[in-house]
Structure 1
Amino acid sequence: MPDLWMPQALKVDIGDHGSCDSAFPAKAIAHITGDLEATAEAPLDLLPFASLQGFFTGSGSGKAPHVLWDPFTGEFAQFFPATSRSKAVFDKTGGTRTNRAGKVVIQVEALFFPHCRVNGKVFARLVDTPCRGWDELHAWISSWGVPDVWPMGRPTSLSRHTCPAEKWRTQGGWYAHAHVPENDHVDPGSWPEFGSRPAGPSPAEPRFEPFPGASFFQMGRKSPVIAAMHGRLVAEDCDRYTSGTVVDVWGAGDVRSYAAWQRKLGLAGDAADGVPGRFSWDRLEVPGV
């Protein structure tokens, strides 16, 4: 069975699950967050990933998708398992079951709005961004049987093109929010093309140390992996060490420094306790030893 939770995503289960209807073909729905209105003459800074994650776990939980995707950094947060419906489309009672009509109906919100500004550069369309993480996101959604087709056509503009109810019920694949019956949105305006990456890293790609598991990090543990991690925490300005002499032994300084890294990623509470987890470890990119 495919993974209910995308392996690369931070799991933020907000509960309130609801089953999908497997009598219908698998679908995915593409959105942009569209959280601010900007223009080419008056661009605005993109909101932080943590702000949108907080919205979907708080006051915006009634509008939460399955996955929030940052196309600039490749970060993900997932709020519902793949086989649950999510809530990012309007679903009329007794209607076409817009959020359930499929083995899965996986909804993705890309952190983006037209003419957003990131590091001083303005992006008019989602496809103009680096689209980091798209290959991983696409692969996970494909693993659930969502075919690489756009029954209503790949979105190329912010315009409404409502899918007929019968096509929605009978044809699997990718749909824009602008296509979904019973809704009135026009997003996402564009979406990256389907593609595939070769299995395994290419020779040009750096090799990073795989996550060794949370139980690896015990007080007094000595390992070159810890030394490599130490170097990355210092490089990320998360140095909370009181000494730089013993860098390969897990201790209190590592806990403080790793907690600083977790907070830098926008984590809080128990998720920022200084004990490495897969999400934060993968983003630290510790060199292989």
Structure 2
Amino acid sequence: MPDLWLPGAERHPLSDTAPTDTQYAPRVIWHITWDKNGTAAKPADLVPFDQLVRYFTGAGSGMAPHLLWDPFTGRTAQFYPATSRSKSVVDSAGGTRTNRTGRVCLQVETLFFPYCRVNGRSYATVRNTPAKGLDKILAWARSWGVPDTWPMGSPTWSANRSERTWETRGGHYGHSQVPENQHTDPGPMPKWSGTTAYVPPPFPAGLTPGKSNPSAKPLQKALRAAGFLNITDADLSDAYGPRTQTAVGRFFDAHPQFRDQGKPHDVAIGPHGWTYLFTLAYGHK
């Protein structure tokens, strides 16, 4: 069995452990502590690590993650064992049990806020930090079966959520990608080694509902792989017909931010939706 505790992490066990929903694939949720609001013009000093440890073992225990990670020093503290849920995301009654989804649902609070100042230097995103100790966290996550992928794409500062993806794909998620939550963190994350970026096919010219196009068949395969189209190989065709349009409509229902990239009245997929759909379908492999 993999280690319940990250090797080398300081241990601050909280007693209110609870099991995860193990029928789902393993995953990691990434957060930032966002203790202050710095700006490019007025950065602010990073909050001390020990202050956050005291918070998560005291008044903030109801929001404690598995790990607190300092990307500037590599220091880590752990509050729950891997197989317990932690409490850093909103988990509404009756919906997806967001804190429990997966064989493991490891939550990492990164000690960071935008334009934090460390040793006189300002850092806009976690991607800009030294990311010390990240390799150990990733190795630990891999030991629990978490793949080195972002099923909803690498995080940005915008929210992007799909409950279907959350429930069916293991991997790494930003807080901004977890159902029932409204946060936009962690923002851009480091690009770690061991991950091969998936490159979707370029958006094809002339892909129009009601017309034949060789790219209709790859579109149908991607819709099938992402769970929006129930079709056999024998039914694949170059026709962008009603069945494909209905499946694209389902994709838009799950990801409405892409609907305006095409033509909503005839359910055409646009270039941004195309890229996201193919990444959703195949980027986890």
Q: Does the pair score TM above 0.5?
A: yes
Structure 1: unaligned runs, 5 residues or longer: 197-289
Q: Name 1:64's counterpart in structure 2.
A: 64
Q: Name 1:209's counterpart in structure 2.
A: none
Measured in 1, the distance between the counterparts of 2:180 and 2:139 equals: 29
Measured in 1, the distance between the counterparts of 2:165 and 2:43 equals: 38
Q: Name 1:151's counterpart in structure 2.
A: 151
Matches within 5 A, 1:47-62: 47-62=47-62
Matches within 5 A, 1:75-154: 75-154=75-154
Amino acid at match of 1:169: E
Q: Secondary structure at the match of 1:51?
A: helix
Provide, for residues 152-175 of structure 1, a one-character-per-residue CA deviation record: whole Å limited to 9, x for no partner: 0011x311111x222211111000
Q: Name 2:165's counterpart in structure 1.
A: 167
CA positional deviation for 1:179 = 0.3
CA positional deviation for 1:147 = 0.7
Q: Name 1:187's counterpart in structure 2.
A: 185
Q: Percent identity?
A: 54
Matched, 1:21 2:21: yes
| Paired residues of 2:33 and 2:109 also in contact (CA < 8 A) | yes
Measured in 2, the distance between the counterparts of 1:110 and 1:17 equals: 21
CA positional deviation for 1:194 = 2.6
Matched, 1:41 2:41: yes
CA positional deviation for 1:88 = 0.3
Q: Secondary structure at the match of 2:189?
A: coil
| Paired residues of 2:152 and 2:165 also in contact (CA < 8 A) | no
Q: Secondary structure at the match of 1:189?
A: coil
| Paired residues of 2:128 and 2:190 also in contact (CA < 8 A) | no
Q: Secondary structure at the match of 1:31?
A: strand
| Paired residues of 2:158 and 2:176 also in contact (CA < 8 A) | yes
Amino acid at match of 2:176: A
CA positional deviation for 1:8 = 1.4
Measured in 2, the distance between the counterparts of 1:186 and 1:20 equals: 24
Measured in 2, the distance between the counterparts of 1:17 and 1:139 equals: 23
Q: Name 1:257's counterpart in structure 2.
A: none
Matched, 1:12 2:51: no
Measured in 2, the distance between the counterparts of 1:57 and 1:190 equals: 28
TM-score (norm 1): 0.66
Amino acid at match of 1:139: A
Amino acid at match of 2:151: P
Measured in 2, the distance between the counterparts of 1:192 and 1:3 equals: 24
Provide, for residues 52-97 of structure 1, a one-character-per-residue CA deviation record: whole Å limited to 9, x for no partner: 1111001000111000000000000000000000000000111111
Provide, for residues 201-234 of structure 1, a one-character-per-residue CA deviation record: whole Å limited to 9, x for no partner: xxxxxxxxxxxxxxxxxxxxxxxxxxxxxxxxxx
Measured in 2, the distance between the counterparts of 1:82 and 1:186 equals: 24
Q: Secondary structure at the match of 1:141?
A: helix
CA positional deviation for 1:148 = 0.9
Q: Secondary structure at the match of 1:24?
A: coil
| Paired residues of 2:25 and 2:103 also in contact (CA < 8 A) | yes
TM-score (norm 2): 0.67
Provide, for residues 9-64 of structure 1, a one-character-per-residue CA deviation record: whole Å limited to 9, x for no partner: 00100110010011110010011111101111111000100001111001000111
Amino acid at match of 2:187: G
Structure 2: unaligned runs, 5 residues or longer: 195-285
Aligned length: 194
